[in-house]
Amino acid sequence: VQADGTDGNCVTFVLHDEDHTLGNALRYMVMKNPDVEFCGYCITHPSESKINFRIQTRGTLPAVEPFRKGLNDLMSVCQHVLDTFQ
């Protein structure tokens, strides 16, 4: 979902069947990017299993890029923890 009147640097992503477990970890990974001005999420209602994940970037960087990078970085961290555990 893209906010009206923006050029793609401020976007809200709706993630279904997710909760604080993914939301907080992903927010942490995305905020490590220095080009991200704001990143936050909210759970719309306790009875719904979806989160609204919002990213706003500086300049002309599309918000989808730090979103993808955050997901990939989080997968790498999870894989490292799994490998270390095993």
Across the chain, what does the average pLDDT equal?
Answer: 91
Q: What is the domain partition of the chain in residue ranges?
A: 10-85
Q: What's the confidence (pLDDT) of residue 74? A: 97
The correct CATH number of 10-85 out of 3.30.1360.10, 3.50.50.60, 2.30.29.30, 1.10.240.10 is 3.30.1360.10
Q: Which residues of 10-45 are buried (b: 16+ CB within 10 A; e: fewer)?
A: bbbbeeeebeeebbeebbebbbebeebbebebeeee
Does the pLDDT value for residue 1 go beyond 70?
no
Predicted local distance difference test score (pLDDT) of residue 60: 86
pTM metric for this prediction: 0.88
pLDDT > 70 in the chain, percent: 93
Which residue has tokens 């991200």? 36
The predicted pLDDT at position 23 comes to 95
Question: At 46, is the secondary structure helix, strand, or coil?
Answer: coil
Output the pLDDT for position 3: 57
Instruction: Write down the pLDDT at residue 58.
Output: 92
- In the predicted structure, residue 53 carries a pLDDT above the cut 90: yes
Question: What's the rounded Cα separation, in Å, for the pair 86 and 79?
Answer: 11
Instruction: Report the distance separating Cα 86 and Cα 80, nearest Å.
Output: 10
